[in-house]
C-alpha cells in the first residue's frame, strides 16, 4: 500500500492510481481531496487531468460557475475535452449540459452551494463515472442553509466514494486514504511520518482524538504499534508538511 506522500506531485500521482483502480472496479461516483487551504484548484486539476487523457472529447470538465469555466477555456486552449459550468441560475438549469457521447465527467472544486444543480446534472449523467476533485460539499461555513437543503446535501454526499483523501489533522497528524486501501492515521515522530492506525471507515474527530490518546474506537483495526502523544504547537509541523507538499 502507498506511503504518505512527501510532495504534492506524489499525492496527485497516487490519486490518479486510486481513480484508475476505482474505475476498474466499476465505482461510478468518486472524489479526490487534497485538503490544504493554500492549494488552488486550477493547477491541481491540470496536473490531475492526464489520467483521463484517453477519453479525449468524451470527457466533460465542470467548474462551479461560468467565470471559472471561461478561465479554463482561456488557459487550456489546446485541450479537446469539453469545459462546462455547473451554474445555479435559471438559464443554466434550463438546458442540458450533458451530451450522449460523453463517457466521464470531472467536477473541479464544486461547493455546497451548487449541490442542488449538481445533483440534477449527476442524475442526467446516470451510471457514467463522475469524479469530484477537491469538492467542498460539506462546507459548514455556508450561512442560512435550511433543513431540506442539508438533507439534500447529505443524501448526495452519501453516494460518493472517497478514493483519495489527504488532510493534516493537527501539528503532527495526517488522515490519509488511497483506494482501495483503508483509512489511515499517520503521526510525525523524529521528523518522519509513521502509520499508527488503519480503519475501515472515515474516522470522526473524536475517533482520531481517542486514537492519539492511546484508545481505540469501535471501528479501529489495531496494528499493534504504540501511539505517540500529541504536542502543543498546532502550527509548526503543519506548516512544514504543507511546505513539503507544495515544493
Q: What is the pLDDT of residue 39?
A: 86
SS (H, E, C) 100-136: CCCCEEEEECCEHHHHHHHHHHHHHHCCCCEEEECCE
Q: Does residue 65 sit in helix, strand or coil?
A: coil
Distance CA 246, CA 10 (A): 11
8-19+27-164 maps to CATH 3.40.50.300: yes
Distance CA 209, CA 243 (A): 25
Q: Domain locations in the chain?
A: 8-19+27-164, 169-246
Distance CA 202, CA 167 (A): 12
Contacts of 113 (CB under 8 A, 6+ apart): 64, 88, 142
Distance CA 182, CA 166 (A): 13
Distance CA 57, CA 103 (A): 9
Lookup result for grid cell 483506494 = 179
Confidence of residue 155 (pLDDT cuts 50, 70, 90): confident
Q: What confidence tens digit (pLDDT) does each residue in 90-107 have?
A: 444 445 789 999 999 999
Asked whether the predicted pLDDT for residue 225 surpasses 80, the reply is no
Q: What is the pLDDT of residue 143?
A: 46
Element (H, E) at 71: helix 66-75
Q: Across all residues in the chain, what is the average pLDDT?
A: 84
What are the b/e assignments for 214-240, b being 16+ CB within 10 Å? Answer: eeebeebeeeeeebbebeeeeeebbee
Distance CA 94, CA 88 (A): 10
**For 29, phi and psi rounded to 5 degrees?**
-130, 125
Residue range 182-203: average pLDDT?
92
Amino acid at each position: 500500500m502507498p506511503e504518505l506522500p512527501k510532495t504534492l506531485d506524489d499525492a496527485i500521482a497516487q490519486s490518479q492510481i486510486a481513480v484508475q483502480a476505482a474505475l476498474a472496479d466499476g465505482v461510478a461516483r468518486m472524489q479526490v481531496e487534497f485538503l490544504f487551504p493554500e492549494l488552488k484548484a486550477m493547477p491541481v486539476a491540470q496536473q490531475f487531468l492526464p489520467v483521463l487523457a484517453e477519453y479525449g472529447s468524451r470527457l466533460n470538465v465542470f467548474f462551479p460557475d461560468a467565470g471559472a469555466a471561461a478561465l479554463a477555456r482561456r488557459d487550456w486552449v489546446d485541450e479537446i475535452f469539453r469545459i462546462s459550468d455547473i451554474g445555479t441560475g435559471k438559464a443554466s438549469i434550463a438546458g442540458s449540459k450533458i451530451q450522449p457521447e460523453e463517457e466521464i465527467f470531472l467536477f473541479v472544486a464544486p461547493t455546497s452551494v451548487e449541490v442542488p444543480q449538481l445533483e440534477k446534472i449527476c442524475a442526467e449523467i446516470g451510471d457514467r463515472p463522475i469524479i469530484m476533485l477537491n469538492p467542498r460539499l460539506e462546507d459548514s461555513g455556508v450561512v442560512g442553509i435550511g433543513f431540506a437543503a442539508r438533507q439534500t446535501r447529505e443524501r448526495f454526499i452519501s453516494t460518493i466514494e472517497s478514493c483519495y483523501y489527504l488532510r493534516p489533522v493537527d501539528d503532527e497528524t495526517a488522515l490519509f486514504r488511497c483506494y482501495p486501501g483503508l483509512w489511515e492515521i499517520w503521526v510525525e515522530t523524529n521528523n518522519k511520518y509513521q502509520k499508527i492506525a488503519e480503519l475501515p471507515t472515515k474516522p470522526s474527530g473524536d475517533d482520531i482524538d481517542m486514537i492519539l490518546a492511546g484508545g481505540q474506537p469501535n471501528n479501529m483495526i489495531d496494528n499493534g504499534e504504540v501511539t505517540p502523544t500529541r504536542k502543543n504547537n498546532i502550527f509548526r509541523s503543519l506548516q512544514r508538511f504543507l511546505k513539503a507538499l507544495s515544493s
